[in-house]
Amino acid sequence: MFDLDCIPDTIDEALAGFYCEVPDAYHLPGLRLPGCFDGFEMAVRAILGQQITVKAANTLAARIAAEFGQQAYTPFSDLTHTFPAAKQFTAPDAIDKLGQLGVIHRRASAIVTLAEAVESGAISLQSDADIQTESASLAALPGFGPWTVQYLAMRIFKWPDSFLYSDYAVKKAFPGMSPKQLLSMSEAWRPWRSYAVVSIWCGPHT
């Protein structure tokens, strides 16, 4: 969850060239990759967050938890339900229910398809699963483009070398560069490109 086994000095040294290229990146030795407690919830949130604001995605996630999850009693007024397990999205009317909550059909279908794959065992979203196998399986599902797959590789599978070249903030940090040029440049930052992306996200202009 907290990337406690990383070696900051090694990563900082390897990304020295990156910090020269992107002076606005958040350069603080010891920066960790954000993990997650539940891989399925993380994947659903990634789908919900496609092309909408973080605030809007959080609103949808809260509605989904209230509709499909179980009530939880906590000292926090805005934390009232657990996030539902994959099985809760495999009912025949799941897509319709998601639509009623404001999730567009394409994303609702992607969530249900993912849930069915997880429930059947076709896909594992456990942090210790094989990154290459599961990334390929995710990429084969509708609604899982390169950004989503790379993002989940970073957040769920703790992959240190994800490079989200199509991410808005990443493209903004390298104006005028094509995806092919970005990928070529990023080769020098392997195998720590996830840390480069997080540094950009934490920068002052993102």
Looking at the predicted structure, is the pLDDT value of residue 85 above 70?
yes
Report yes or no on 57 lying in a domain: yes
Q: What is the C-alpha separation between 46 and 202, in angstroms, rounded?
A: 18
pLDDT band of residue 137 (cuts 50, 70, 90) is very high
- In terms of domains, do 128 and 26 share one? no
Tokens describing residue 155: 């957040």
Q: What is the C-alpha separation between 71 and 48, in angstroms, rounded?
A: 22
Amino acid at 50: Q
What is the signed CA dihedral for 193, 147, 176, 19, rounded to 10 degrees? -20
Catalytic-residue membership of 167: yes
Q: In this predicted model, what pLDDT tens digit does every residue of 26-56 receive, in sequence order?
A: 888 888 999 999 999 999 999 999 888 889 9
Report yes or no on 1 lying in a domain: no
Q: What is the C-alpha separation between 102 and 144, in angstroms, rounded?
A: 20
- In terms of domains, do 48 and 118 share one? yes
* pLDDT of res. 206: 58
CA-to-CA dists, residue 13 to 7, 27, 105, 186, 188, angstroms? 10, 12, 45, 15, 12
Q: In this predicted model, what pLDDT tens digit does every residue of 49-80 receive, in sequence order?
A: 988 888 999 999 999 999 999 998 888 887 88
Q: What is the C-alpha separation between 150 and 170, in angstroms, rounded?
A: 13
* pLDDT of res. 1: 86
Q: What integer best gives the mean pLDDT of the chain?
A: 93
User: 5, 24, 128, 167: which is the annotated catalytic residue?
Assistant: 167
* pLDDT of res. 205: 59
Report yes or no on 131 lying in a domain: yes
Q: In this predicted model, what pLDDT tens digit does every residue of 20-32 receive, in sequence order?
A: 988 888 888 888 9
- In terms of domains, do 151 and 132 share one? yes
- In terms of domains, do 121 and 187 share one? no
What value does the mean pLDDT take over residues 168-175? 91
β-sheet bridge partners, residue 81: 71
Q: In this predicted model, what pLDDT tens digit does every residue of 95-133 receive, in sequence order?
A: 999 999 999 999 999 999 999 999 999 999 999 999 999
